[in-house]
């Protein structure tokens, strides 16, 4: 049996985004570590509607869990998401590089490089690229460091990418504040993270596929996104909900197969696909900030 180190956990009595003490428990769940029976709570802030996991592990402890590939934060043997098609990479980066057409003169920073699919694209196309990730499967590259504090002093960046990262951190606002100090004037910040305002999340609460403690710790509302950007000093340029990437396996696993009548079953499956996954499944935020 595996246990979390209790000395590294903090039971917050306030919202980590807006600091309101008006919070309530809305569910509880096991961690993603199948070798552990630890149970954590899902908390909602009544003021900004942000959801977070309690207790929250401190960032130093989290960094170490990611570094060793602990099953409390990643599934066993995880080596990062599968490589997207080149067209998907281009489509993703086109969302924000349209604001920065002169890429070859610009500096790029990515937090959460993972296997480096986006990083490699920018390394080829920008003047200078730096990356941060504590994981063991990041590309070997002197410009990819384990911690943001290891980025050389006086370097500033024009495009900063932090995709699927903020939900993994103890304090996402602190990270955006640190990044802000590394941003050039008019720098663009591109980020994506879970959207708990989507109907699927509201209906499923702790059963929502994004609630994966202690890998995912934060689930953002419209209001908590605004507060986080404002507190960290970023101007909000764009914000919209978007689809995550549920795999076919996720979809099949989450579907209730308990029906004897095959016609009804097929009908229910189509309704499920159409409404839950296609119409109501926009369970991520895509946010563009500007310095
Ligand atoms: Zn709040």
CA distance 46 to 44: 6
> pTM of the predicted model, to two decimals?
0.88
Which of 146-150, 159-163, 254-258 is predicted least confidently?
A: 254-258
Distance in angstroms (rounded) separating the CA atoms of residues 169 and 185: 26
User: What is the CATH classification number for the domain harbouring 18?
Assistant: 2.20.25
Q: Does residue 253 have a pLDDT over 80? A: no
Domain limits for position 284: 86-290
Clarify whether residues 30 and 94 are in a common domain: no
Q: How far is the CA of 110 from the centre of ligand 1 (A)?
A: 27
In terms of domains, do 43 and 150 share one?
no
Task: Give me the torsion for CA of 232, 119, 281, 219, rounded to 10°.
Answer: -30
DSSP character for 127? Answer: S
* Predicted local confidence at residue 249, as pLDDT: 64
Mean pLDDT of 71-76: 91
For residues 26 and 114, state if they share a domain: no
* C-alpha to C-alpha distance for 165 and 216, rounded to whole angstroms: 9
Claim to verify: residue 13 and residue 153 sit in the same structural domain: no
Predicted pLDDT at 277? 62
Q: Which of 186, 182, 204 is nearest to 194 (CA)?
A: 204
CA 128 / ligand 1 centre spacing (Å): 37
Q: Are residues 54 and 94 in the same domain?
A: no
Show Cβ contacts of residue 156 under 8 Å, excluding neighbours closer than 6 positions. Answer: 107, 182, 183, 184, 187
Question: What pLDDT, in 10s, does the model give residues 194-244?
Answer: 999 998 899 899 999 899 999 999 999 999 999 999 999 999 999 999 877
pLDDT grade for 149, boundaries at 50, 70 and 90: very high
pLDDT at 246 over 60: no
Give yes or no for residue 98 having a pLDDT over 60.
Answer: yes
Residue 58 within any structural domain of the chain: yes
Q: Phi and psi (nearest 5°) for 198?
A: -70, 155
Query: Does 187 map to a domain?
Result: yes
Whether 79 is in a domain gets the answer: no
Overall average pLDDT of the 270-291 stretch? 79
Together in a domain, 50 and 105: no
Give the mean pLDDT of 51-59.
98
Distance CA 263, CA 95 (A): 42
Which protein residues have their CB within 5 A of the ion that is ligand 1? 15, 17-18, 20, 45, 47-48, 50
224 alpha carbon to ligand 1 midpoint, in Å?
6
Q: Quick one: pLDDT at residue 66?
A: 93
| Backbone CA torsion sign across 259, 265, 268, 270 | positive
């Amino acid at each position: 049996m595996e246990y979390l180190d209790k000395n590294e956990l903090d039971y917050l009595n306030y919202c980590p985004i807006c600091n309101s003490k008006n919070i309530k428990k809305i569910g509880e769940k096991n961690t993603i570590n199948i070798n552990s029976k630890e149970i954590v709570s899902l908390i909602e802030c009544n003021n900004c509607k942000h959801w977070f996991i309690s207790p929250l592990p401190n960032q130093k402890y989290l960094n170490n869990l990611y570094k060793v590939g602990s099953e409390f934060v990643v599934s066993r043997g995880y080596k990062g998401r599968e490589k997207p098609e080149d067209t998907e990479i281009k489509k993703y980066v086109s969302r924000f590089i349209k604001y920065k057409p002169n890429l070859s003169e610009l500096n790029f920073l990515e937090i959460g490089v993972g296997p480096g699919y986006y990083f490699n694209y920018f390394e080829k196309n920008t003047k200078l690229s730096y990356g941060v990730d504590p994981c063991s499967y990041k590309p070997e590259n002197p410009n990819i460091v384990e911690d943001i504090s290891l980025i050389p002093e006086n370097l500033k960046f024009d495009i900063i990418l932090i995709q699927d990262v903020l939900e993994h951190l103890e304090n996402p606002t602190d990270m955006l504040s640190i990044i802000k100090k590394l941003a050039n004037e008019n720098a663009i910040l591109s980020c994506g993270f879970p959207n708990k305002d989507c109907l699927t999340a509201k209906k499923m609460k702790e059963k929502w596929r994004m609630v994966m403690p202690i890998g995912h710790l934060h689930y953002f509302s419209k209001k908590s996104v605004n507060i986080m950007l404002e507190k960290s000093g970023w101007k909000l340029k764009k914000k919209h909900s978007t689809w995550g990437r549920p795999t076919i396996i996720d979809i099949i696993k989450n579907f209730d197969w308990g029906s004897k009548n095959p016609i009804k079953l097929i009908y229910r499956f189509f309704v499920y696909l159409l409404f839950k996954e296609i119409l109501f499944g926009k369970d991520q935020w895509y946010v563009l900030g500007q310095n």
